[in-house]
Amino acid sequence: MNAGAYTTQGMDKNINILMVDDQPGKLLTYEAILGELGENLIKAHSGMEALEHLLKTDIALVLMDVCMPGMDGFETAQMIHAHPRFQNTPIVFVSGIHVTDMDRLKGYQHGAVDYVTVPVVPELLRAKVRVFVELHRKTQQLEVLNARMTSLQDEERRRIARELHDSVGQLLAAIGMNSVFLAAESHKLSPDAGKRLSENAVMLAEASKEIRTISHLLHPPLLDEAGLASALRWYVEGFSERSKITAKLDLPKEFAGLSKEMELSIFRVVQECLTNIHRHAGSPTAGIRVTQDEACLRVEIEDAGKGIPAETESAFGLLAHAGVGLRGMRERLRQLGGTLHIQSSSHGTRVTAILPVVRVTAVPAVQQVARSLSPEIG
């Protein structure tokens, strides 16, 4: 994708605000109060309907009644924040019944960023919502810049890989041909000069191999020419040979519904994880398993190394020891609607990447909600 396409994407769109209440009259009141903000107001009459909207739409803020039949606001909030995609979605509770300090405490314990009591002061509610809307808009702008940086990095990798293959590779090939010519005349040289010429030929062959490997690691041509499966097989086989780590790759028979961006992201996740295993884990083995169903593609990379100490975990659940590389992978996946999870113990580490995919088979809405909110890591 052209990096320039990211400069305005998502910058000027109206922000989506989800209003959840089982009483239509209260939804109309919220709509009247928040209408002058000029944002996109979405109504939901139950917790389940709210979850369906979240799965289909980028929601900046959830304004939710606490007391609803069936699944109340607290239960709905708990389900929302249990999903990796919505862990940081701000929720503002509104209640005219549950107004004690203990009710407010329960609301905050379920992830609320604010707790508003009825009767609502229109100016106050508008001011609160406006703050979260502006924060979301600034976050979107940062995400656009991150997406552009990722695109530029990918383009630069391709350019350098092409330069190494076309320019440096051709120069080394020409030097190799000259070396063959000189080798034919080596009997005219002294024994020491002949030995050095032979050593040069060996080093030249090794340099050519290294340049080719570096070029392919920067951007594997197999990814464009033969697809993700071939590129992963090539990389994992080469990784095992270079690192002396026994790596096992388990792939589905075929992939469906994957864009070029998805294929590149999956390859980069596997590449980054195996690099970390080689550098830090001290594991003799690595396992890579890719599975796909109608809703998502799942990549699991697991090792049997020393793990990552629990005290190094960051407040946001991303292991600090994992470094900038995996943070970049999490952001890359997030841009595609995916998630990245890390589990670690003294027995090893498992990284799980999940990406949504579009398949022909339709999935009923409620079934899709239940599946999406099921535990991501077994």
Mean pLDDT of the chain: 81
| This model's pTM is above 0.75 | no
Instruction: Output DSSP code: residue 315.
Output: T
Q: Could you tell me how many residues make up the chain?
A: 378
pLDDT of 321 strictly over 60: no
The string of pLDDT tens digits covering residues 118-163 is 888 999 999 999 999 988 888 878 777 777 877 777 788 778 877 8
CA 290 to chain centre: 15
Task: Give the number of other Cβ atoms within 10 Å of residue 232's Cβ.
Answer: 23
The string of pLDDT tens digits covering residues 83-120 is 877 888 899 998 878 778 888 888 888 888 889 888 88
Helices (H), the chain: 24-34, 47-56, 73-82, 101-109, 122-163, 169-184, 191-218, 221-225, 228-243, 260-276, 323-335, 365-372
pLDDT value for 197: 83
